[in-house]
Amino acid sequence: MSIKVEEPPAEPPLGKQSLEFKNKFFKEASIQDWNNWKWQIHNSITDYKRLEEIFGIKESGHNLPLRITPYYASVVYNSKKLGKTVFPSMNELVHSKGESLDPLHEEHDSPVKCLVHRYPDRVLFLVTNFCSTNCRYCTRSRIINNKEEEKNQLNEWNLAIDYIEQHKEIRDVIISGGDPLTLPDSLLSYLLTSLSEIKHLDMIRIGTKVPIVLPMRINSDLIDILKTVKPLYMSIHCTHSDELTEEVKTACNLLADNGIVMGSQTVLLKEINDEPETMKSLFHGLLKIRIRPYYIYQCDPLLGSAHFKTSVETGINIIENLRGHTSGYAIPHYVIDAPGGGGKIPLLPKYYQGQDEEGNILLRNYEYKNYQYFNN
């Protein structure tokens, strides 16, 4: 009788643009290296010399922080629009009216270190200051890559977990940072296990951009940790349909197949994704890989972010061109996270036109036709 010998699992496939980019700029790396998320972080583009070698962008003396994974660099290399989201710019040194380092006043609503308790029944748990790729419009750029802040990480976590345990009105925890999925498996497992043991929590969410900028992180070891938490939701930061590569599709389908419910968060950015057709293409692509479009955010008034900012009318126009023109599942909420800690406020086109003299509701639909609803 022959004995069947199991073959080692095949390496995840590399998309064409990843393979071409790797062979051009990371010749020494094997496919196994490239598919290792820790290798990706260790070999990220963090200096201007390497940025110039690959993208021709010269250091201009402003020395702003920089980090792009090799994988995401391969995406950006083929997408001029996405380059604007990760390449440092002198525009970041221009400070405009209404901007601040902490525009959402998160520190004001922080009862213990690394926890933001703004809404009655949910908290934001900032578990790390590290991201594998730095977005230039990041609301939390004040804390990203701040090593000083991470020294007492586990002690701060435990204080935050104690606070959540003591406040039984909290039913929902959003784990964010930085990016939680850059944590080592052991720490992530400890965190999720600790939260899962709190009986009054109904749900746990993870806010992340890792499936988009570091899809090789979504591996079997990580899935084994994530699928023990039920229900687990994941809010994925997506910007443009150019990000939806074969690697990203594979990663997100793996998450969905293992019971993780995914929604998207998209920041509205000038000359990057501020056209209705651009957003529609992104949202249709996300639905195909089982990510429900959830939020479009108006860009937060972070210091030096004015060059990313669109008018609010631009965002309303996008919703206007989605509602009635595509599936309801493809239409996210368009919100402003109110400066000063006011929370998320939804913005809509003027479908509600008021009431007539008899108190009946006057409505306008997506075709600009008017209707009356009898309001008994």
User: Could you tell me whether strands 370-373 and 361-364 are parallel, antiparallel, or unpaired per DSSP bridges?
Assistant: antiparallel
Is 122 catalytic? The answer is yes
Q: Is 138 a catalytic residue?
A: yes
Are 70 and 43 in contact by the 8 Å Cβ rule? The answer is yes
The active-site residue out of 131, 238, 252, 299 is 131
Q: Which residues contact 316 (CB under 8 A, 6 or more apart)?
A: 334, 347, 348, 349
Closest alpha carbon to 75 in 130, 36, 20, 32: 20
From 118, 227, 249, 364, the catalytic residue: 118
Catalytic (active site) residue 114: no
Of these residues, 33, 109, 113, 119, which one is catalytic?
A: 119
Identify the burial level of 249 via C-beta atoms within 10 angstroms of its C-beta, where 0-12 means exposed, 13-18 middle and 19 or more buried.
Answer: middle
Catalytic, 350? Answer no
Beta carbons of 35 and 216 less than 8 angstroms apart: yes
Residue 171 falls in the annotated catalytic set: no
Collapsing DSSP states into helix, strand and coil, what is residue 215? helix
Chain centroid to CA 52: 27
Selecting among 114, 135, 238, 252, the annotated active-site residue is 135
135 labelled catalytic: yes
Give me the catalytic one of 102, 179, 242, 337: 337
* Active site annotation includes 119: yes
Residue 16 annotated to the active site? no
* Residue from 67, 84, 136, 140 carrying the catalytic annotation: 140
Catalytic residue among 114, 138, 252, 299: 138
Residue 315: partners with Cβ closer than 8 Å, 6 or more residues away: 268, 296, 298, 334, 347
- Does 140 qualify as catalytic in the annotation? yes
User: What gap in Å lies between CA 92 and CA 118, rounded to an integer?
Assistant: 28
Longest distance between any two alpha carbons in the chain, whole Å: 89
Out of 84, 122, 280, 309, the active site residue is: 122
Instruction: Give the list of residues 6+ apart from residue 238 with CB closer than 8 angstroms, or none.
Output: 212, 244, 264, 265, 266, 282, 286, 291
Kindly list the catalytic residues: 118-119, 122, 131, 135, 138, 140, 300, 337, 344
